[in-house]
Amino acid sequence: MIRIKDIAKLANVSTATISYVLNDSGSVSLETRNKVLKVVADLNYKPNNIAKSLKLKKTNTIGVIVEDITVFNSPEIVDGINDYANTENQSIILTNMRLFKHTGQNFLYQPDSHVEYAQRAMKELMSKQVDGIIYVGIHTRELTNLFNNLQIPIVYTYCYANDQPDLSVNYDDEFGAYDATKYLIDRGHEKIALISGPIDSDPTRLRFNGYYKAIMEHQLIFEPNDIKTGNWEFDSGFTLAKELLQVAKPATAILAMNDLMASGAIHACAELGLSVPRDVSIIGFDNREFSGHLTPALTTMDLPLHELGTQSMSTLLALINKDELPHNPIKPRCKLIERDSVASVSK
């Protein structure tokens, strides 16, 4: 391992000078500068950033706490974080809480072990002196008080903390559901059923708002019987779609609040001998990879995950540099992916 001191000796200058040329700081004559650079190249010198960080009290390293890297939303968000980090020369320390692997579907109801994992992760990152933290959730939900008296900037994404709303980066759930519903309405559907997530979930409420707004705005009839509450899983989509469809005058379209339930709905139609989209149109949410492989390929809302990552990173960097934060930042928008599960209604 070759040090600045070795360069200094060979180049016959002080270590200060080496540092100046390496960092383009101070003023160094062209001659000594070239001399130093030559020795640096000859010895294939690689700076030790750990020493630099200790001195400067800045690591240019961001801690990323991800609740579970194997859950579908995480890799794209991390990719966005990396994308932005590369342009800003920031490194990423990744801690993966493996929440879903540890607790399965129950992760929402295991606050104790959750807190323990989170604080362990935080402790590790603090000891590594990261300049800030991005916390990546696996479900949009309230996480205030997960960490007590933070001593370091943090931004949340795919989840949020009420005590720092400007530091939570999430996409526009309501607008996404509004758009999906409107897409159906534009194709002549007037009776649009909804398979929702659990009531105590934020995305459920927001997506319901979007749905309701589109229905009202187009003077359609809001029919409570066409709203069914599911649990995000395939089976609930399957069961609820059947209930929805086996009535006297069924809806002509179903908006499922995620792709898993939409898939259940598609399979329910197959079982009922109904053709999608000829007899009933189905639209999902999330644009999971599998959604394009369903039969028929599912029309669904794509989540702006990559953008969540870049926006988290830019927000965090602004925090770290004490730049002014945009006050009401625009929430990234979902994008409709048109495939084969929606048809116009024939009048």
Number of Cβ within a 10 Å radius of residue 263: 22
Residue 229: count of CB within 10 angstroms of its CB: 15
Collapsing DSSP to helix, strand or coil, 120 comes out as helix
At 66 the three-state DSSP class reads strand
Q: How far apart are the first and last CA of the chain?
A: 78
Among 10, 22, 126, 336, the residue binding a copy of itself under the rule CB under 8 A is 126
Distance CA 149, CA 147 (A): 7
Nearer to DNA, 26 or 165 (CB): 26
Give yes or no for residue 51 binding a copy of itself (CB under 8 A): yes
79 interface partner picked from DNA, a copy of itself, none, CB below 5 to 8 A per type = a copy of itself
Q: Binding of DNA at residue 330 (CB under 7 A)?
A: no
**Calpha distance 243→235 (Å, rounded):** 13
- Residue 126 or 274: which CB sits closer to DNA? 126
> Of the two residues 206 and 280, which places its CB atom closer to a copy of itself in the complex?
280
288 binds a copy of itself (CB under 8 A): yes
Name which position in 41, 57, 199, 200 contacts DNA (CB under 7 A). 57
Choose among a copy of itself, DNA, none what residue 212 binds, the Cβ cut-off being 5 to 8 Å by kind: none
Q: Which is nearer to DNA, 31 or 324 (CB)?
A: 31
Residues 15-44 that bind DNA (CB under 7 A): 15-20, 22-23, 25-29, 31-33
Q: Which is nearer to DNA, 6 or 233 (CB)?
A: 6
37 binds, among DNA, a copy of itself, none (CB under 5 to 8 A by kind): none
What angle, rounded to 10 degrees, do the helices at 305-320 and 74-87 form?
40
- For a copy of itself, the binding residue among 28, 40, 69, 118 (CB under 8 A) is 69
Q: For residue 84, what are its two tokens?
A: 């932005």
Q: How far is the CB of 4 from a copy of itself (least distance, A)?
A: 13
**Alpha helices for the chain (secondary structure H):** 4-11, 15-23, 30-43, 49-56, 74-87, 99-103, 111-127, 173-186, 202-217, 234-245, 259-272, 305-320
Minimum CB distance to a copy of itself smaller for 266 or for 317: 266
Among 143, 141, 144, 169, which residue's Cα sits nearest to residue 155?
169
Partner whose footprint covers residue 26, from DNA, a copy of itself, none (CB < 5 to 8 Å by kind): DNA
Give me the least distance between CB of 3 and a copy of itself, in Å please.
12
The burial class, CB within 10 Å (0-12 / 13-18 / 19+), for 255 is buried
- Three-class DSSP labels, 259-305: HHHHHHHHHHHHHHCCCCCCCCEEEEEECCHHHHHCCCCCEEEECCH
Shortest Å distance, C-beta 34 to DNA: 10
How many CB atoms neighbour CB 314 within 10 A?
A: 19
* Contacts to DNA by CB under 7 A: 1, 3-5, 12-20, 22-23, 25-29, 31-33, 47-48, 51-52, 54-57
* Contacts to a copy of itself by CB under 8 A: 1, 46-51, 53-54, 57, 59, 61, 64, 68-70, 72, 74-76, 78-79, 82-83, 86, 91-96, 98, 101, 123-124, 126-129, 263, 270, 288-290, 292-295
